[in-house]
Amino acid sequence: MKLFGHRLTASAAFGAVVVSLFMAISLFTPWLAPYAESASVGGTWDEPSVKMIFGADQIGRDMLTRMMYGSRMTIGVALAITALSFLIGILTGLVSAVVGGWVDIFFTRLVDVMLSIPSLIFALIILGVFGSSIPVLILTIAVLDSTRVFRLSRALGMNLTVMEYVEAARLRGEGLWWVITREILPNARAPLVSEFGLRFCFNFLFIAGLSFLGLGIQPPYADLGGMVRENAAAINFGMMAPIYPATAIALLTVSVNLVVDWMLSIDARPSGAQAEL
């Protein structure tokens, strides 16, 4: 099995299959789910049966259906947060590296101030003031997460701005946008793509954690972290209801990390010419 022209290891292949399965289920949930998202079709914490493979939740909703919709919501929000954080972080980081001077000082000091406050506390304050609507959730976590992307982008940009091809572009009179998009960004693509996977995992877990605390995605929407919290009491009765969404969270996180580790390993391999030397 190959990806990006390279053969996958066994662990990476497992991760890629699991991630692909989660993505496919998330995309086609409305057509694959056996019941409506909020439909009550059984009793409280009914045992698994032919009718409900994973049983029912605390108010009789099908666990499989809720997990499918919960995966769709949590993955979708995590992807939106990661994409927005990378847009903000890469833009500000590379501009700081290329322009330098007071622009670099301003963005760097601003990021230092934001990093000095623990992310969870910062998020709890913002969400407590402005509420936990999905747009506020996405914007808040994306801004917080962009500080990490900024640091990586700035470090990559600082290393690449001194390269000869960047200096040649500047001497040709190319503008800032050209230098960033045509010269620096393509050469920083590999570490940024790997970082995207890692930041997605962090955001996925962060959203699940906020939902478990009651400040993440709010009802009637399903999400995996909220499902663990809502069904936590079932553990006292020896039932598996909260274990299923917790397992889904762990499985997706581990699988993404397996793929990211493989991508980092192929980025670190020497090229054919270097290997021969």
Closest CA to 248 of 199, 198, 204, 185: 204
- 108-157 pLDDT, tens per residue? 999 998 888 888 888 888 888 888 788 999 999 999 999 999 999 999 98
On average, the pLDDT of the chain sits at: 86
Question: 127-143: buried (b, 16+ CB within 10 Å) or exposed (e) per residue?
Answer: beeeebeeeebbbbbbb
Mean pLDDT, 10 residues at a time, over the chain (277 residues)? 70 90 92 89 87 89 92 93 94 90 91 86 84 88 92 90 82 81 84 88 91 84 90 86 92 91 69 37
- 223-255 pLDDT, tens per residue? 999 999 989 888 888 888 899 999 999 999 999
SS3 at position 275: helix
CA distance 254 to 243: 16
pTM of the shown model: 0.88
Angle between helices 119-130 and 189-213 (to 10 degrees): 60
Q: What does the domain layout of the chain look like in residue ranges?
A: 2-271
The verdict on domain 2-271 having CATH code 3.10.450.50 is no
Q: What is the 3-state secondary structure (H, E, C) of 86-119?
A: HHHHHHHHHHHHHHCHHHHHHHHHHHHHHHCCCH
